[in-house]
Amino acid sequence: MINWQRTFAFVTGSIVVGLAIILVSNSFIQYVAREGTTGYLFLFGFGLIYLNLNFGFSRRFMMKAMNISWICYLMAIFTILPTIFWIYTKDVGLGKAQLFFALTVIFAAFLGAYFGIRRGVVKRAQYIQQMKDDDQELPKSLRRPHDDVSIN
């Protein structure tokens, strides 16, 4: 795998952020089970948090990584795993909304990863094009490993 240090840093970072989210927000999960607008707004808020975080992780990762977009989905899994584990092992007061909450968080995380991958690829292409327009040499982190190999 190319650039495994970056991959390791991003994956472990997503685990840490996933743990931090559940530690900070565990007391707010109970409001998702409330009826009416309050429950939907809290559910929407949790969805936005996971969507935005995974969008940011995936976009930043794909700006530097080439053709390994599956890592972004792995980061999404590691971001939501502590939350899913928490709601199924603790009594957080969700009741019947537990499955709906889990599906919403999973959907939001994977949607954020999907759009982050797309935006990261576009930003990488813009960066490479800008470098070509300015006649600058590409940094080593964006070069393919076989560019330095002799033809002979």
The answer to the question of residue 145 being in a domain is no
- Band of pLDDT at residue 149, cut at 50, 70 and 90: low
Statement: residue 101 has pLDDT above 60: yes
pTM: 0.81
Number of domains in the chain: 1
User: What's the chain's average pLDDT?
Assistant: 87
The answer to the question of residue 93 being in a domain is yes
Of 96-105, 118-127, 135-144, the poorest mean pLDDT is in 135-144
Q: Do 75 and 58 contact (CB within 8 A), yes or no?
A: yes
Residue (of 102, 97, 72) closest to 85 by Cα position: 102
Provide mean pLDDT across the span 142-147.
66
pLDDT for position 145 = 66
pLDDT for position 1 = 46
Provide mean pLDDT across the span 70-99.
90
The answer to the question of residue 121 being in a domain is yes
Structural domain boundaries, residue 112? 4-137
The answer to the question of residue 146 being in a domain is no
Q: Do 73 and 110 contact (CB within 8 A), yes or no?
A: yes
The answer to the question of residue 107 being in a domain is yes
- Band of pLDDT at residue 54, cut at 50, 70 and 90: very high
Provide mean pLDDT across the span 15-29.
91
The answer to the question of residue 50 being in a domain is yes
The answer to the question of residue 22 being in a domain is yes
The answer to the question of residue 151 being in a domain is no
- Band of pLDDT at residue 85, cut at 50, 70 and 90: very high
